[in-house]
Structure formats: C-alpha cells, structure tokens
A and B are shown apart, each in its own frame.
Chain A
C-alpha cells in the first residue's frame, strides 16, 4: 500500500516536463546504442553535435534560425490540438502563406517598407487561414475528419505552388523552380549576428508563442477552445457551439502555420523556392507533441529540434555518423512521449511490472 503510494507520487512529481525530459534522455541513449552498433563513438558524435549547434555565435544564431519555423508550426498544431483538432495540414498552410506573401511583394515592389512588410505578412497569414478553413468547415458542417482533408489539401497546395514557381512565376533564366527576388523593403532584417540566417522572424515566433499562451489561458475565446477540445458535450451544454470553434481554431492554426512559411521566405531566401520546407509542418506535430501543446514548452522543444538539426551536419562531417540519425532520435523522442506514464514504468520494481502484465 505505502509502496504504491510512493510510486504514484514520483510520477506525479515529475509531471509533464519531467516525463518529456526523460523521454529525450532515453531517445539520446537509444541513439547512442545505434551509433555504437555502427562501430563509432557516441560520445564524440554527441560532442560534435553540440559543437555544431553552439560552438560560436554564428552556430548559435543558425540553431535559433532553424528552430523558428518549427516553433511556429508547433504552435499551429498546438492551437488546433487544444481545440480538439489534429492539424496535420500545417505543411500546406505554410506553403499557402509563403506563396501569397511572395506574390503580393512581387506585384507591389515599390511600396514603402512600412506598408509592404506588414501588409505582405498579413496577406500570407490570411491565405494560410483560408486554406485551413477548408478542413475546418468540412469538419464543422459535414463531420468529415480534418486529418483526411488536411492531407489532401497539403498535396493540392504544395503542387500548386510548384506549378506557379516553375511556370508563370519562374525567374527568367533560372534552372530551378523559384521566383525572382523580392524588393529589399520586403525582407526581414538580420538579427544580432551578421551573415547568419537568424532574422527577426525568430522574434515574431517568440511573440506568437506569448500571444498563443495569453489567448488560450487568459481569454474567454481561448477557454472555449480548450473546453471544446477537452469535452465538446460539456461545451455544448455550456452554450458553446463546438462547430464554430472548430472553424475558428483551424483558421487561427492556419494563420500561425502560414507565418512559418512567411518568415522562411522573407528572412532567408527572399523568394519562393520550390521545396523550401523540409517538412516543417510535420516536424511541428512532433514539436507540439513533445511539449504537450504548452506554448512555452513548444519554445523549448523547437529549440531542441533546431539544435539536433543544426548540429547534425558537423556531426556527420567530423565523425561520419549520418545526419539522418537525428531523425531517428526525433522519432524515438516522440515514441517515448507517446507511452503514457513512462517514468512510472521505469521506476516500478520488477514484481509490480509483472503484476501489471498479469492483468
């Protein structure tokens, strides 16, 4: 009896943060085993990974810059998740946002920065929201599962963008699918470290995290989102219409995902390049999941994923461990987070675990 009580409270004390950290540690350990099997030294590999991500200001800046789109996509997934929806369409929404912003800026190159930048960003966010409304409305009005519609919408918009930048908006003379460069006035400024990829998009992302937090926990609309997400029937009995919330939540999530695409194209490439996103939208799902849809947790988990990402190149170059290993580690993190009460599982003595299997 007393024993059981103690074990229960260890799990409780660790809480969500604890079990997330535990999952990360476990994933890194498993990654180390894999490196060992490859006949290489995991310690030097991880050391090079760390150095690659943090060895000098430029490396740190690039790590932060890689975390930026993951942070925004994670927030997008989390907002939908809180309202009970699975936004697997962030990848499509960020394409919609990026293309809309770039096309607007190409159309009005002579606008002053004070107009061009904010209006361009807003138009992109609007496009992302509109694109996300398709699954939102179909879910609300017809009960079609948002995951199915999101996946189909992803294909549509990604391929449509590819057509645009390889066809009508292809840069004259270019051999890769990309538009011409946008005007200087539309570009996000470099931040802190010159010649790094870090730009003001990072600050925008942090700002959005704060806004999402305030929205979810301090406003009555956010309360409605969370109520619908946790118990739609209680929401309905409490005068909230879950269908309306579904539509609103998808639109909000779509506009945040769009920002991920917008900050990438305005801050790094200054044009739309076909295939600019290495699945930010899908990695965002993992980021949100690891942080259990907590906006501040998402900042940390996006930084983790960004670190793995930016350090992996050096790790591969110096130690010969393939940079694909970090995808394995990311997957393992999610795998362990998905196991409920994993900390308890590992803390319990053997006989208790066996007794559980008996049931």
Chain B
C-alpha cells in the first residue's frame, strides 16, 4: 500500500522554540493514524506545516508520492486534504446546507442550492450522518456541528482528513458516534489523521500511532502491538503510574452544604448537595452546563439567586463576599486558570498574594510585608517543586503545570477546610496531572471537603467518593462511586437522558 502523506525531516522553529525538530511522519493510505503527544509537543505545528499554514525550514512533504507545494488552505483542499478544527468554523445564523457549501458554491447565474443539496444529501445518506440541512447551525448540538465540518470537507473532495482533538467537546456517546463515522469513512477509502493527547482514544480508534515529544518524533507503532502504558511512556519519557490508591477515609461532619441553588435561569430544579470532611464529591458533565456558575456561586464571585443558601462549617455564608469566604477557609482553584486564577504579567511572588492581599500575615497598615510574602512564596515553590528560576520572574513564563502548582500551593498554603477545584488538569501534561491528582487524594486524607468539578470522566471516576452529574444546570443523579459505575451510565446522564438513544437525535 502506498503512502497518503510522507513528511521527511520537518524542522520548524518559532522565536525561542524549536517546535518541530527533524520529524519524519508517514501516513499510509486508508488508515486511521493517531498523532499523539502532550500540549506543546509540536502536533499542531506539524499539521500546520502539512496544511501550508507554516512553512518548514527544512524537510520535504510528499502527498500521494508527489512533492507538495501547498502554501494555503485552498491549495490544501485542492490536494485533497481537509481539516476539522477543534473550534468549529461555522456561521451560526446560516443553515447547515449553506454552511456546507460555503467555499464551493455551485454558481450559475445565481446560487444553485438544488445542485448542492442533491450532492450533499447523497453524501449524508451514504455515511449515515443524519443532519437536517435546513436547520440553522445555532440550533444544532455539538456532535452534529462536528459532523457538518466533516461533510464540509468531504464535499470539497478531501480524502485525507485531519481531525484536531475532535473529542474535547463531546460526551462519551458522541465520541462513540464519531468513531463509527470515522470507521465508515475508512471503509470508504479515506485516510484519517487523528490528533489527540488521550490514550484511550488512541487505543480505540487508530491503526497506527506516531508519538511526539518536545518537538521530536519518538516512535511510530502499530496500535494493536502496543499498550496504553507503552504509549504513555513514549509521551512523557518515563513510566507513568496510573493506579492511584484511594485509601478509605472515615467521613466526618458536613463541611460544605449547597441548598436549593438555582444555577441556570431556565433550569427546572435547583441544586442541593453536601460534602463531608475527608470526602471528594465529583461533579461530572459536559462543559457549559452550569459548572462555572456553581463554582462561582459557592465562592461568591457570582451572586446566587434568592432562595438558595451555601453553608460552610455550619454557618450560612450566602450573602458574604469572596474575600470573607477565602478568609473563612475556602480554597478555590478556578476552572479558567488564565482568566481567573492568576495575573500573567505579575511575578510568581505577587501571584502568591492574589486573594490574600488583606490577610493579616501579609499586610500591616495597608503595606505589603514583602519579606513574609517572599518567604511564603519561596517555601511553597520548594514544597511543591515549582520549576522556576526565581519567584520574581513573571508567572506567564511558566508552563501550565507549574502555573497550576503555584495556584494550588497558594490556595492550600492558608489551610482551607473546603476546597473548590474546577477543571484542575485542563491543558496539563501527564506529569502535572499525576501531581494534581495525588494532591487531591492527599487533601482528602487531611480531612478537607473537596468539590471536584471536571469534564474529564476518568478524573471524576478515579478521584471521587461520590459523583453527581450536571446537565442543563440540574443534577441528573448522584451516587456513591464504585466499580459498578460505567462511563456509559455517566455519559447518558451527561446528555440529560436516563435511558438509551443518542444525543442530538429526536
């Protein structure tokens, strides 16, 4: 079998970073090939080079054994390459049909929608996509939008399809649907390059895998002859410990109680739950279903609507300020690290003060106690192994994992009783994820009450004592976490359904 794409010795650098360092990457025709690696390993750069968005400094690209001369997206389409981006490139008020034909409109004297409709409908039928061509995009579910992107590319005649982290926005059921579609496309002779950092997906969908690390290619392997453990080792460069022990802890008194809090204005039911000492409550759910509201209402960043109350350590703190809550023993690791948890132009040291600027330890008569602050920041940096040359360098220069360490060590440095942890491993690499997870288990052992809000099911299932599933601002169900809980069950609840049927279909 021939090669669909061959990239030889690709080198591409940006000021200060060598993003691709002599990478060889070959995709056989009619295979699903995963490009696996952590954030910043050079996956996207490599694909952008293939797509003509970046020009490589060294190396050559062959597409179907012909030397590639692609310099822009249109030429890529002409060469039969299409890319489904992580963020959809759709025009919301327009119909599905118009979106799909955008860029390749059949034009006579006027726009001839019928020609396009016939061709697109045939395509949709052939692959079993189930898209209503007359619906406007804003009404469609995420999974359907993604299918539209695929149809769009097929309509332009692509037979090499690049999928950039396609599962990040999907529920487990939608992921299954997507995999079915990809398998169908493969059966039809298409070649698929699947960019991801998730091991399970790689194992489930790919024929072969190429692993990148630090801008270099580590290895290309046949998936069936490899294992998650092996791939993880290629990805990070050392053996990863997947088996996190969650030793039994005796749960104590209720530390955090949320009672009748209305998360979204149009949710039918309000939300209530409680967390005990030494317990982790995991909130699962697809992003945008009230997670951020929950997090912010508990911390007082956003006002909770009338009728609800938040009780910490037995006292009602509903009307209090964020400042009061932080001083009252509530730690907060926000979901949006860059926006809410840190000031990126400030030094690491100053970021250690954020949220505690009025704390008596750090402040006398309004003046900052710089010596105490410096001692605190240096102690936390040491304790949590933050990799930074000096605590006076700006936090924006740190890696995501180290920034998260700073934030976690800041919040835990004031010994909170209740810790609100939202999307704590978003965008982090495996090493940092391991660290965050073991820190959370440690908090549990110390008898803290932890609320873990995460879209990563694995994270929820590994760490939580109890799980609640959030959908549309309501808790669909909550239960003890045990071996009987499956991803499928959680996935259905996340899609707002108690029984079968897939998301987005009527």
Closest residue of A by beta carbon distance from B366: A219
A270 CB, min distance to chain B CBs, angstroms: 37
The residue from B18, B301, B334, B363 contacting A1, defined by CB atoms under 8 A apart:
B18
B426: Cβ under 8 A from any A Cβ: no
B340: Cβ under 8 A from any A Cβ: yes
Which one of B269-277, B350-358, B374-382, B432-440 contacts A? B350-358
A221: Cβ under 8 A from any B Cβ: yes
A231: Cβ under 8 A from any B Cβ: yes
Q: What mask results when residues 321 to 347 of chain B are scored 1 for a CB within 8 Å of chain A, else 0?
A: 111111000001010100111111110
Which one of A2-10, A32-40, A51-59, A116-124 contacts B? A2-10
Does the CB pair B367–A220 fall under 8 Å?
yes
Give A214-236 interface residues, CB cut-off 8 Å to B. Answer: 218-221, 223-224, 226-227, 230-231, 233-236
A237: Cβ under 8 A from any B Cβ: yes
B299: Cβ under 8 A from any A Cβ: yes
CA distance A358 to B52 in the complex (A): 12
The residue from B13, B323, B354, B367 contacting A4, defined by CB atoms under 8 A apart:
B13
Does the CB pair B367–A241 fall under 8 Å?
no
Determine the chain A residues whose CB is within 8 A of the CB of B168 once the complex forms: none
Count of interface residues, chain A, beta-carbon cutoff 8 Å: 25
Determine the chain A residues whose CB is within 8 A of the CB of B345 once the complex forms: 230
B14: Cβ under 8 A from any A Cβ: yes
Does the CB pair B353–A223 fall under 8 Å?
yes
B53 CB, min distance to chain A CBs, angstroms: 9
Does the CB pair B343–A239 fall under 8 Å?
no
Give B1-58 interface residues, CB cut-off 8 Å to A. Answer: 13-16, 18, 55, 57
Determine the chain B residues whose CB is within 8 A of the CB of A231 once the complex forms: 339, 342-344
| Chain A residues proximal to chain B, CB less than 8 Å | 1, 4-5, 7-8, 218-221, 223-224, 226-227, 230-231, 233-241, 358
Determine the chain A residues whose CB is within 8 A of the CB of B356 once the complex forms: 238
B362: Cβ under 8 A from any A Cβ: yes
Determine the chain B residues whose CB is within 8 A of the CB of A8 once the complex forms: 15-16
Closest residue of A by beta carbon distance from B340: A237
Does the CB pair A239–B326 fall under 8 Å?
yes
A169 CB, min distance to chain B CBs, angstroms: 40
CA distance A237 to B355 in the complex (A): 7
B124: Cβ under 8 A from any A Cβ: no
Q: A231-B344, A234-B340 known; A223 and B368 CB under 8 Å? A: yes
Determine the chain B residues whose CB is within 8 A of the CB of A221 once the complex forms: 366
B42 CB, min distance to chain A CBs, angstroms: 14
Determine the chain B residues whose CB is within 8 A of the CB of A237 once the complex forms: 299, 301, 322, 332, 334, 340-341, 355
The residue from A5, A230, A241 contacting B346, defined by CB atoms under 8 A apart:
A230
Determine the chain A residues whose CB is within 8 A of the CB of B344 once the complex forms: 230-231
Determine the chain A residues whose CB is within 8 A of the CB of B14 once the complex forms: 4
Beyond contacts A227-B343, A227-B346: 10 other A-B pairs, Cβ-Cβ < 8 A, are: A4-B15, A5-B16, A220-B353, A220-B367, A234-B339, A237-B332, A237-B340, A239-B323, A239-B324, A358-B55
Q: What mask results when residues 292 to 327 of chain B are scored 1 for a CB within 8 Å of chain A, else 0?
A: 000000010100000000000000000001111110
Does the CB pair B16–A4 fall under 8 Å?
yes
Determine the chain B residues whose CB is within 8 A of the CB of A219 once the complex forms: 366-368
Determine the chain A residues whose CB is within 8 A of the CB of B301 once the complex forms: 236-237
Determine the chain B residues whose CB is within 8 A of the CB of A4 once the complex forms: 13-16
Does the CB pair B343–A234 fall under 8 Å?
yes
Does the CB pair B358–A220 fall under 8 Å?
yes
Closest residue of B by beta carbon distance from A5: B16
A249 CB, min distance to chain B CBs, angstroms: 16
Does the CB pair B322–A239 fall under 8 Å?
yes
A260 CB, min distance to chain B CBs, angstroms: 26
Determine the chain A residues whose CB is within 8 A of the CB of B322 once the complex forms: 236-239
B342 CB, min distance to chain A CBs, angstroms: 6
B410 CB, min distance to chain A CBs, angstroms: 10
A229 CB, min distance to chain B CBs, angstroms: 9
The residue from B15, B299, B357 contacting A220, defined by CB atoms under 8 A apart:
B357
CA distance A236 to B299 in the complex (A): 10
A175 CB, min distance to chain B CBs, angstroms: 51
The residue from B15, B325, B342, B363 contacting A234, defined by CB atoms under 8 A apart:
B342
B97 CB, min distance to chain A CBs, angstroms: 33
Q: A7-B15, A220-B363 known; A239 and B340 CB under 8 Å? A: no
Determine the chain A residues whose CB is within 8 A of the CB of B57 once the complex forms: 1
Sample of 5 A–B contacts (CB below 8 Å): A5-B16, A219-B367, A223-B368, A234-B339, A234-B342
Determine the chain A residues whose CB is within 8 A of the CB of B18 once the complex forms: 1
Q: A1-B13, A4-B13 known; A238 and B354 CB under 8 Å? A: yes
A206 CB, min distance to chain B CBs, angstroms: 21
The residue from B324, B325, B357 contacting A223, defined by CB atoms under 8 A apart:
B357
CA distance A223 to B322 in the complex (A): 17
Does the CB pair B362–A239 fall under 8 Å?
no
Closest 8 CB pairs of A and B: A239-B323, A238-B355, A239-B322, A237-B340, A1-B13, A220-B357, A8-B15, A238-B354
A19 CB, min distance to chain B CBs, angstroms: 16
Determine the chain A residues whose CB is within 8 A of the CB of B325 once the complex forms: 239
Q: What mask results when residues 127 to 139 of chain B are scored 1 for a CB within 8 Å of chain A, else 0?
A: 0000000000000
Does the CB pair A223–B334 fall under 8 Å?
no
B454 CB, min distance to chain A CBs, angstroms: 18
The residue from B15, B55, B343 contacting A5, defined by CB atoms under 8 A apart:
B15
Determine the chain B residues whose CB is within 8 A of the CB of A234 once the complex forms: 339-343, 354
A71 CB, min distance to chain B CBs, angstroms: 25
A10 CB, min distance to chain B CBs, angstroms: 11
Determine the chain B residues whose CB is within 8 A of the CB of A233 once the complex forms: 336, 339-340
CA distance A236 to B334 in the complex (A): 11
Q: Name, among B321, B356, B367, the residue most crowded by chain A CB atoms within 10 Å (CB to CB).
A: B367
Give B46-86 interface residues, CB cut-off 8 Å to A. Answer: 55, 57
B505 CB, min distance to chain A CBs, angstroms: 37
CA distance A236 to B295 in the complex (A): 13
Does the CB pair B16–A227 fall under 8 Å?
no
Q: A4-B14, A239-B321, A239-B323 known; A220 and B366 CB under 8 Å? A: yes
CA distance A80 to B146 in the complex (A): 45
Closest residue of A by beta carbon distance from B12: A1
Determine the chain A residues whose CB is within 8 A of the CB of B339 once the complex forms: 231, 233-234
CA distance A218 to B371 in the complex (A): 12
CA distance A233 to B342 in the complex (A): 9
Does the CB pair A220–B362 fall under 8 Å?
yes
CA distance A235 to B301 in the complex (A): 10
A211 CB, min distance to chain B CBs, angstroms: 13
Q: What mask results when residues 402 to 419 of chain B are scored 1 for a CB within 8 Å of chain A, else 0?
A: 000000000000000000
CA distance A7 to B341 in the complex (A): 32
Q: Name, among A4, A220, A224, A230, the residue most crowded by chain B CB atoms within 10 Å (CB to CB).
A: A220
Does the CB pair A220–B321 fall under 8 Å?
no
Closest residue of A by beta carbon distance from B364: A220
Q: A234-B339, A238-B322, A239-B355 known; A218 and B367 CB under 8 Å? A: yes
